[in-house]
Structures are given as structure tokens and as C-alpha cells.
Amino acid sequence: MNKVKHTIQLTTLAATMILLVGCGSGGAFEGETASSNNQNTGGSNQVTVNPEARVYELTIKTGNREIYSSLQYQVSGKYDDGSEQDITSLVKFEVTNNIVSFDDEGVALPNTLGTTEVTATLNGVTSAPVTLDVVPTLVCGHTTGKLLDKNPGGGVDDDSRSSASGECLKIREVLDSTDLKRKWFTSTPSLEFMHQLGYGIEDFPTNSGDSYAQSEREVSINGTDFAAFRQDGDGATPPSQTNSTTIDAGKDGQAYRWCQKLNEIEFAGKVGWHIPTWTELDHMNKYNAASGSMFIRFGWPVNRSYQSWQSFSNQFETVKLLDPSLFPLQKATADEAKYVSCVVDL
């Protein structure tokens, strides 16, 4: 009889605990068992904690960040039974001003430019603060706080003929029929963008670091000057004499380093930016196009051809982004300064 009574008591206690969690009652067991979305793992995780354990420490794993679009935060909690759990969806996020708002899953949504401190709280325990800076977007046509996509204000496929003149890069999205991958391509940068990143001019064979070679004025884009890059540089791999598929051609050259810079700053939230092949550039130019250059359709600078990493007979293959009906392929030696588009697979 005592055994049955003891079992009933345990069952009743368990049901009460579940009810408290499901109702969000704010009691001692609030949030001890729940699902939380963790962007870093790409799915939902079931958080299961000993019902007698108490959280005693919260840590915002996301750390100090700069953002111009939404950001998924991650919070871990340490419990007095020795366990540690991702409890992002259970905590309450607080900020020192209205720079950002948080949704129920711990996603920070920018409201305006500025700096704030973020803390997380659960059951009377508060994390140490982290800093969040909402900075201007680096994608032309993108509105701070909106997702990077093809919707109005999303920046991708922005067709303004003037926005490229600012401290930003254009992005064009295509579905490449050769490998069935979606890709983003960037326009060559304006000198304003170069100066923002601390770039200087080095138009000689041993160029190094954050540099470009020449500039080209595009009268149609508000008379803006745009950067052009060589494919040689200190320690750079020269173009191939016999094989256009030598993938290391141009490695560590000025153009190559520019695309690596985009990886360093995680431009548009991506890593893996690199110089495209000439066929990728040609396909990008022809994708869903009836007529007109990349300037006419998307406001890109087009006065110079764009670099590819493919080479033959000691020259690199470059592509003019003019009307898709025109033959685009040109040649350039490593010391010739051309525009650069960087590409990344989505």
C-alpha cells in the first residue's frame, strides 16, 4: 500500500512539473524541459534537465557581435547537478536601449543603428552582458534589419543604377545550370568602400596586403571611381602556360586577396568567397537576361572586364559584362588591372 501511495505521489509531482513548464508559470521549474532552436546546429534540440537541478550560471555564447541583419543568439545554462544545456528559447533577453528587439527564439532583430548591451535571465539568474553593435549594411540596396534576400530592401539583385557608388557591394543571385548550385556574385568595389576598409593603391608586381592597383571612373554611376585589381603580387602564383584548369593560378595575388578579405569580414554573412571561372561570370551575366549590360539591368560597373582564375598561354581569361548577346571572353596578363567579382555557393 505504501509503495502504491509513493508511486501516486511521484506521478502527481511529475504531472505538476509538466504543467508548470507548459504554462510558463514562472515557478521554480519553469523552462526545465523544452525545445529550443539553435541556428548553429541547424535544428531543434530537446532540453532535458534533472527536475531537482537548479540553474546557477548563464552564458551568452554568441559573445560580442556586429550585425546589420537578424542574428540567432545562443545561451547555455549550468546546473547544480553538473549538467550544461542550451537554453536559448527559455531565457528572457534584455537590452539597455531599443537598438534591437528579441523574438521568442532568441533572434535579435535590429531596429536602428547603435550599440547596446545584452543580458539573458532565467529564474532570477542573469548572465554577464555582451555588446551588440548594429552597423550599416555592406550590401548595396539593403535596409538595416531586413533579411538579405531578393525582396524589396533585401539587397540581393538590387537594380538601382546609383547604389553601387556607396560603401557597399552589389550582390547578384543566380542558379548555375552547370552545377545546379545557387550562387551570389559581387560587383567590383567602389573606392569609397576600399577606403572604408583601409585599402591603399599598389600598382606594381610585388603588391601585398590590402591594396588595389587602379581605379576606373564610371560616369553613369554618379561619376564614381571603382577599384581594379592585378593578379600578381608578392608570392602570387603566375598564370598557366598550358592548362586553363590550373586552379592555383593567381593565388595570393591582389585580386585573390580581395576575395579573401570578404571571407575575413564574413561579407553578407558568408565565407567561401573566391574568384569565379570565366564560365561562371558568363552564366551570371546571361542568367534570366533578355538584353542589356549588367549596368543596365543591375547598376554594376562594367567599363572594365572582370577577372577569372582560369588562365592559358600566360594570360588570365576575363569577361566583359555587357549585352549577353556579345562574345564576352578577353585575355589579360597578370599585371593588368581589371574589375573583380567574388562568388560564393549558397
Maximum mean pLDDT: which of 142-146, 192-196, 310-314: 192-196
| Mean pLDDT, range 66-74, rounded to an integer | 91
* pLDDT exceeds cutoff 70 at 217: yes
Spatial neighbors of 211 by CB under 8 A, at least 6 apart, are 199, 200, 201, 202, 254, 257
**What are the E-state strand segments in 147-294?**
171-176, 181-186, 200-201, 211-212, 214-218, 224-228
| Mean pLDDT, range 249-255, rounded to an integer | 93
**Residue 314: what pLDDT?**
86
Output the CA–CA distances (angstroms, integers) from residue 241 to 10, 230, 237, in the order listed. 79, 18, 12
Specify the range with the lowest mean pLDDT, choosing from 164-168, 226-230, 308-312: 308-312
User: Residue 178: which pLDDT band, with cuts at 50, 70 and 90?
Assistant: confident
Specify the range with the lowest mean pLDDT, choosing from 46-50, 107-111, 251-255, 338-342: 46-50
> What whole-number distance in Å separates Cα of residue 164 and Cα of residue 108?
28
Residue with cell 543591375: 298
Alpha helices in 24-74 (DSSP H): none
**Residue 145: what pLDDT?**
84
Identify the CA nearest to 106 among candidates 44, 167, 25.
44
10 Å CB burial of residue 177 (0-12, 13-18, 19+) is exposed
Spatial neighbors of 209 by CB under 8 A, at least 6 apart, are 202, 257
**Residue 241: what pLDDT?**
65
What is the chain's length?
A: 346
Maximum alpha-carbon separation in the chain? 93
* pLDDT exceeds cutoff 50 at 265: yes
- pTM for the whole thing? 0.75
Output the CA–CA distances (angstroms, integers) from residue 5 to 10, 18, 52, 301, in the order listed. 9, 20, 21, 80
